[in-house]
Copies of this chain bind each other. A is one copy, B any other.
C-alpha cells in the first residue's frame, strides 16, 4: 500500500501556500525536478536547476515566492522551501521501525530499567543500572554497557556500541557502527614505554543529536566529553576525550577533533577538517573542508587552509617553488635593497 496525500494537506503540514488551492492531485512521493512524475512533488532551492524547474512534470514544486512564476506546475510557496522539503519528505519516510517490547534474545541486566514503550531488538545487550526511557528504539546487536541513560524517543540503529556511564538525551539518532564512550587516548611516558591513563570521565550527549555511522566519541579523562543539544555529526567523525561541542553545531564526515578542544555553538565544520587539541573555537565559525585548525578562533567567520588540486605536473612545479620560497624571499629582499625601495613604494 503506497501512502498518498492531498496537495492541500501537504501545504498545511509544511506551512506553504498552495497556489492553485483547488488542485485535488494525490501525491505518492518525492522526486527530483527532472524525474518527478504527475503524482510526485519536488523542491527548488538551487538556481543551478532553473531549467529543470521550467521543464518539470511534478505534481507540484516547493519553492520561494521569487520563482513561483517560473514554475510550470502547481506551486507550494514558502520562505524556506528546503525546510518544507524536510517536513514533506517525512511523510514518505519508510525507515523500518522496531516492534514495541523486548526481543526474547535481548540480554538485559535485571537492574536495568526499560520503559514499557521502549523497543529493544534482537541480540541487544544492556548492562547494569541502565535506564532506557519511553519510545526509545535500540536496534539489533547494540551493546550497551553499565550505567547508561538513553532519553525519550532516541533511536540507536543496529550495532551501536555504548560504553559505561554515557548519557544520551531525548530524540537522538545514532547510526550503525558508532562507538560512544571508548577510552580517550591518554598515556604517560615512562622511560620510553607508555603507561595507560584510565579514562575516568564519561560522555554527555544532549537532545536532538544525530551521530553518523562509524563515528567515535571518546569518554573524558577526568570529566565528561560533551555534545550539546542539536549537534549533528556525520559519518566517521572522531571526537577525542574532553572535547565540548556547542549546541546546534554541524560537522561533516571525517572530521577529527583532538582532546580538550571546545567548539562553539552554531559552527559548521567541513568534511575531513582537523582541529587540534586544547583550543577554543567561538560560536558561528565555519571551517572549510580539509582544513587544519591549529589555534583558537575568537572571531566568527570562515576559515580555510584547503588547497584545490591541480594537474599533477603543474602542481609538482608549484611544490618545488614552495620548497624554495626561502630563497625567493631572500632574492626579493636583496632586489628591494638594491633599488632602495621603501615601504611606500611597496604598497603602491
Query: Would you call B274 and A271 a contact (CB within 8 A)?
Result: yes
**Chain B, residue nearest A31 (CB):** B222
What is the CA–CA distance of A319 and B315 in the complex, to the nearest angstrom? 12
* Number of residues from A at the complex interface, CB < 8 A: 141
Query: Would you call A127 and B96 a contact (CB within 8 A)?
Result: yes
Query: Would you call A236 and B248 a contact (CB within 8 A)?
Result: no
Pick the residue among B145, B197, B250, B323 that contacts A86 (CB under 8 A).
B197
A305 within 8 A of B: yes
Known: A235-B218, A315-B305. A93 touches B292 (CB 8 A): no
A51 within 8 A of B: no
Pick the residue among B128, B186, B192, B289 that contacts A292 (CB under 8 A).
B289
Query: Would you call A331 and B326 a contact (CB within 8 A)?
Result: no
Pick the residue among B176, B230, B272 that contacts A194 (CB under 8 A).
B230
Query: Would you call A302 and B307 a contact (CB within 8 A)?
Result: no
Query: Would you call B235 and A185 a contact (CB within 8 A)?
Result: yes
What is the CA–CA distance of A192 and B328 in the complex, to the nearest angstrom? 44
- The 6 A-B pairs at the shortest CB distance, nearest first, are namely A93-B198, A321-B325, A143-B158, A182-B213, A161-B176, A305-B309
Supplied contacts A82-B188, A318-B326, A330-B346, 4 more A-B pairs, CB within 8 Å? A82-B189, A86-B195, A95-B164, A322-B322
